[in-house]
Amino acid sequence: MTTKIPIEISARHIHLCREDLDKLFGSGYELKIKKDLSQEGEFASEETVTLIGPKNTIEKLRVVGPIREKTQVELSYSDCFFVGIDVPLRLSGDVAGSAGAKIAGPVGEIELKEGVIIAKRHLHLNPKEADELNLKNNDLVKIKVIGERGLVFENIVVRVKPNFKKSAHIDTDEANAAGLGKVCGKGELILE
Distance CA 67, CA 78 (A): 26
Task: Give start and end residues of each alpha helix (H) in 42-161.
Answer: 77-83, 127-132
Least separation in angstroms between CB 23 and Zn ion: 26
Question: Residue count at the site for Zn ion (CB under 5 A)?
Answer: 1
| 169 lies in the site for Zn ion, by CB under 5 A | yes
Least separation in angstroms between CB 98 and Zn ion: 17
Q: Which stretch binds Zn ion (CB under 5 A): 15-23, 43-51, 142-150, 164-172?
A: 164-172
Least separation in angstroms between CB 92 and Zn ion: 7
Distance CA 44, CA 11 (A): 11
| 90 lies in the site for Zn ion, by CB under 5 A | no
| 121 lies in the site for Zn ion, by CB under 5 A | no
Q: How far is CA 9 from the centre of its chain?
A: 8
Q: Which stretch binds Zn ion (CB under 5 A): 66-74, 107-115, 129-137, 161-169?
A: 161-169
Least separation in angstroms between CB 71 and Zn ion: 17
Among candidate residues 80, 82, 65, the one with its CA nearest the CA of residue 118: 80
Distance CA 170, CA 98 (A): 19
Q: Hey, is 49 helix, strand or coil? A: strand
Q: How many CA atoms lie within 13 A of 106 on its CB side?
A: 9
Least separation in angstroms between CB 167 and Zn ion: 7
Residue 60 in contact with residue 68, Cβ under 8 Å?
no
Q: Which stretch binds Zn ion (CB under 5 A): 12-20, 104-112, 148-156, 167-175?
A: 167-175
**For residues 15 and 169, which CB has a smaller minimum distance to Zn ion in the complex?**
169
Length of the chain: 192
**For residues 23 and 124, which CB has a smaller minimum distance to Zn ion in the complex?**
124
Binding site residues, Zn ion, CB under 5 A: 169
